[in-house]
Structure 1
Amino acid sequence: MNYFKDQSNLAGLYDLGFSGPKFTWRRGQLWERLDRIFVNSMWLNEFIHNSVQHLSMTGSDHRPLLMKISASNVKHKTSFRYLNMWSSHKDFFNQVSLVWRDCHTSNPLIKLWKLQKKLGRHLSNWNWKIVGDINLNVVEAEKSVANLEAELEINPDVEKDLLIANKNLMNAICMQEDFFAQKAAKTRFCEGDRNSKYFHAWIKFRRKWNTIHKIKETDGKWLHSKDLIATNAVKYYQILFKQPSALRPSIQQELFCRDENFMWGLDLTSVPGEEEIWSALASIYSPKVAGPDGFSADFYKKSWKIIKDDIIKVVQGFFRGLDVPNYFKCCNITLIPKSSSAIPWDLFKPINLTNVISKMISKVISNRLQPLLPKLICENQSAFIKGRSIVENFYLPKNWCWIWTSNAEGGT
């Protein structure tokens, strides 16, 4: 099966998934999913919103597949999103320095809020007016190189111009690939994947995969309208998130008496310095999807020399007890399907996309706490502790069983 999937990927074919029963073929008690619908990138370019439904096995041992194709006229309100390719532009840091100036606000959190809003608007306008269409930029750069190469045969003096044109072409191609890689949201690429067609296919397939065509309510009713699906999703997760958490048994404080002096000596809430804050930021993976503010970790890293004073004051302000505005505390909730046939809402896993500032503060705390966990957590608790593995819980009883069996066979 893995070989089949690998060959499908090499051929540029994508399984559209399905809804309904899992298997499409039966012989006696043997059930398999033999029937599938594959499409290529050209199909996904033309028909993004399509779905496959497994029908009943009436008069055959194979299940018919019904494919529905629908056009989408839904227009979403666009919000600011920082593009990682911008940092490759020669004028990017000048634009950031031009906007990132004092807002005459004493509160560092409010100041950063205003600076990000102002910079977001400025970069959006700059992208439209200066950066322009990245695909068109590549085409024009290729034409410029081709013309200079042809002229070089007649006039050797244009060789310097040709070197500059080649440099501009490589920069345009890198910006194009960075754009498609970020849009495809694929965080790991192997050698040979730097191909815009590959990114295009991933973008189309991801958009199709993330589209919910229909949903099954808890009472068994099917919803097909996009407005009804959206309303039902909000209602379902509002009820889910408002449910009271399960009662947990109270912690027995006497279990920590032995390490009471050690815990009182911990320094987890002290104000961090620049080196510690930068270490927390550097540990965040740059291509990760941005939060509600639209700025990814790549922006903070590439513009650190310009913005670091304000970022450091914000993180330090949190540890000094400043009230954090909702702008930094809010997050985007994204639904991830648990299976290829996710139909009811309970088969979707909600995850939060938070701002980088929240991630940096969490990283500072976790980096301080991580080396202390082996002291606070018993040795037989092996999960989620650096240097320990949950597999140890399996190997230990396995070794004991092996020793016990060996002793029994030996007659001792």
Structure 2
Amino acid sequence: MADNESVIIIVVYGASEVIDHQNLWTALETLAQQCSDILWMVGGDFNAVRDLNEVCGISGDIRMATEEFNAGILEAGLIPLPMQGEWFTWHNCSTSMRSLWKRLDRMLINDRWLARFPSAYYHSLTPRTSDHSPLNIWHHEIVGIPMYAVTRKLKALKPVFRLQRRNKGDLTMNVQLAKGFLDEAQQLRRVRRRILQINDENGFTHTDLGEIAHEFVSYYQNLLGGTRRRLSVDIRYLRPWARHCITDEEANQLLLPLSADDVKQAMFDIADDKAPGPDGYSSRFFKAAWPMVGEEVTRAVLDFFSTGKLLKQINSTILALSPKTTSSYCAKLT
């Protein structure tokens, strides 16, 4: 756009009562006279639909309101901006037979806007926490390396998801019920899965709770950070059991730089029911949101393979220790 080119953008939140819609249409007609030679866009929640195919579910007679909406747009010289994504932008959040979907949100432009930006369009996202399509929080600019930007945006999404959960009923009652169920479940888990004894690597049995805990810690310290990690292995001793030794050409293929397609393929190869990481996000989340988050996640992964640097909050995991199911609840660490 030229530095001296003017643009007028109006954000609309239409009245919920149909009788009050006429005030909006009249205002748009008045503004149209002032914006005839200026790039003009009007967008937001009009609380009205333009056609019966913009409603799914049981609704009252909306034909008159629809005709008034279309007449108001026509008088104002506005035309719809092309849209991609979800057709319906509002839901009454009901799971009963009275579930209702409508397309209440849209963006309209004048002919000068169309001539200036003939390929422009907007994207309608899936409704989440609000009953309307959400703002794209992922597009916020974060200063830092790609991996840091991804982790900050994932963290910023957490309050949004928490709000979504809170909106599903009486929060206080749900918390009390959940707390009661959790207490019962944890008590049952302590009774059924308590480790009463453990055998160390030398075969000695320990029944003291402190000694049991010490053996667990010692075992995993040795496993994850012990001297055995520094022991070298002569692969010549493994050759008799190797069914196939890779060729030089295959080895060179393994050393090729990763591409964006490789990152996406790796993500989509992870099953949806795999346990999420410590941040709570599963592979299913990333796959469902890939059109939005894929580019930035890919950039973060490729940056790691390029620099070899991994953030502490990414390089973490949760170890859940569960005993073997035996009559004595005995776990042997050998």
TM-score (norm 1): 0.38
Q: Name the larger-Rg structure.
A: 2
